[in-house]
Amino acid sequence: MRFYDCLADEASFLDDCLRGLAAPQKALAPKYFYDHLGSQLFEEICTLPEYYPTRTEMAIMEANVAEIARLVGPNVELIELGSGASVKTRLLIERARPALYVPIDIAERQLRSAADEIAALFPWLHICAVRADFTRPLRLPSFMGVPVKLKVVFFPGSTIGNFTPDEAAALLRGVRDMAGTGARLLIGVDLKKDKRTLEAAYDDAQGVTARFNLNLLARINRELGGDFRPERFRHKAFYDEALGRIEMHLESRYAQFVHVGGRRFDFRPGETIHTEISCKYAVEEFQALARRARFEPLRVWTDPDRLFSVHLLIAV
Ligand SMILES: C[S@@+](CC[C@H](N)C(=O)[O-])C[C@H]1O[C@@H](n2cnc3c(N)ncnc32)[C@H](O)[C@@H]1O
């Protein structure tokens, strides 16, 4: 297993944080959720009864793996964006037998341990783990000596929903340009559904999602010397039906101020830091978005309850 650290700018967390907390609607990007504890909390979220996306996407893949493997084909370069624990990928590797696996994630410890586990499970597979921020231009190292037929980009977990439709189209356009004409994109996309199911998935009874959201403040304290008191904030998640998206915020319980990077930030009671969106798409809506990035649909699979979709597209 080879490991490349392509995370260009370590200072960006502080810069983004200072800019985000100074904005009229305070905001922090969801990519900052994923320090080591954040990655662990996300894995716990994946097992919650309310969090249907992980088990549903896995079930769709299990039910259709023979067809997916046939359409993806063997000896490809399998590039995974936001690979996390690489759990769903195991199925794909086992059945499609790519020549090279390139997991890309911002969270170093989880990326390394997931890649090590994949290496132990599939000793015949070449692996190049890349620590990078996929919202920045992707310049992947060239993988000499591994014969590959084509690139297949796997982007599970509905992580694409964390971007507005315009941002998502721009991100996919970058993916398309990196992967080249004829490349395949296999992407998990959460479907629109009733507000109750959606809001429960992002505000579970055990409070794990709340801990995941609040960990961002603790991370700012740990890494940037901030003095947030997380207990003075509450997790808030709601579905905006007009925009078709979940919004997650951290709401200040009181009038208070905090310091980060030597600067003071004031909060009114009820004022929020916007931490995540999760956009939901009808199948045709997502296909239209993908076309903006020059991906044409090949096949789409859903579960019987139509909670989640897995799309296979081709770069044209
Ligand atoms: C919603 S989780 C999905 C994890 C896994 N793929 C799954 O399907 O369960 C998002 C993953 O993307 C990673 N991630 C989030 N933003 C990222 C970024 N800008 N660049 C690289 N990785 C990112 C996180 O560390 C995390 O592993």
pLDDT tens, residue by residue, 161-188: 999 999 999 999 999 999 999 999 999 9
Residue 235 has pLDDT above 80, yes or no: yes
Give the ranges where 23-78 is alpha helix by DSSP (H): 36-45, 52-72
How many percent of the chain have pLDDT more than 90?
A: 93
Identify the band that residue 7 occupies on the pLDDT scale cut at 50, 70 and 90.
confident
H/E stretch holding 175 reads helix 165-179
Q: Give nearest CA residue, ligand 1 atom 3.
A: 157
pLDDT number for residue 221:
98
Taking the C-alpha atoms of residue 125 and residue 294, their distance in angstroms, rounded to an integer, is 30
Q: Is 8 within a domain?
A: no
Mean pLDDT in residue range 25-49: 98
pLDDT number for residue 11:
62
Total Cβ atoms within 10 A of residue 57: 24
Taking the C-alpha atoms of residue 160 and residue 157, their distance in angstroms, rounded to an integer, is 8
Note whether 172 and 295 are same-domain residues.
yes
Note whether 99 and 220 are same-domain residues.
no
113 Cα to the center of ligand 1, angstroms: 15
Q: Which atom of ligand 1 is nearest to the CA of 107?
A: 25
Report whether residue 159 contacts ligand 1, using a CB cutoff of 6 Å. Answer: yes
pLDDT number for residue 140:
81
Q: What residues form DSSP beta bridges with 273? A: 26, 250
Closest residue by Cα to residue 110 from 237, 194, 3, 19: 3
Report whether residue 163 contacts ligand 1, using a CB cutoff of 6 Å. Answer: no
Note whether 157 and 232 are same-domain residues.
no
- SS3 call for 2: strand
Taking the C-alpha atoms of residue 301 and residue 191, their distance in angstroms, rounded to an integer, is 12
Residue 115 has pLDDT above 90, yes or no: yes
- List Cα–Cα distances, 4 to 122, 175, 176, in angstroms: 20, 19, 22
Note whether 129 and 257 are same-domain residues.
no
Cβ–Cβ under 8 Å, residues 103 and 6: no
Range of the domain at 94: 52-192+282-315
Taking the C-alpha atoms of residue 95 and residue 118, their distance in angstroms, rounded to an integer, is 14
Residues whose CB is less than 8 angstroms from the CB of residue 284 and which lie 6 or more positions away in sequence, other chains included: none
Cβ–Cβ under 8 Å, residues 101 and 118: yes
pLDDT number for residue 96:
97
Note whether 172 and 132 are same-domain residues.
yes
Note whether 156 and 215 are same-domain residues.
no
Whole-number mean pLDDT of the chain?
A: 96
Token pair recorded at residue 286: 């997502």
- List Cα–Cα distances, 199 to 195, 196, 203, 204, 220, in angstroms: 6, 5, 6, 8, 26
Report whether residue 84 contacts ligand 1, using a CB cutoff of 6 Å. Answer: yes
Q: Which atom of ligand 1 is nearest to the CA of 31?
A: 16
Cα torsion angle, 75, 43, 132, 186, sign: positive
Q: Which residue from 12, 31, 186, 246 has its CB within 8 A of the most atoms of ligand 1, so it is best to mutate?
A: 31
Note whether 223 and 149 are same-domain residues.
no
Number of independent structural domains in the chain:
2
Residue 216 has pLDDT above 70, yes or no: yes
Q: Which atom of ligand 1 is nearest to the CA of 156?
A: 8
Taking the C-alpha atoms of residue 191 and residue 305, their distance in angstroms, rounded to an integer, is 10
Note whether 157 and 290 are same-domain residues.
yes
Note whether 289 and 176 are same-domain residues.
yes
Taking the C-alpha atoms of residue 195 and residue 27, their distance in angstroms, rounded to an integer, is 24
Note whether 74 and 214 are same-domain residues.
no
Note whether 223 and 177 are same-domain residues.
no
Note whether 108 and 33 are same-domain residues.
no
Cα torsion angle, 289, 295, 297, 299, sign: negative
Report field, pTM of the whole predicted structure over 0.85: yes
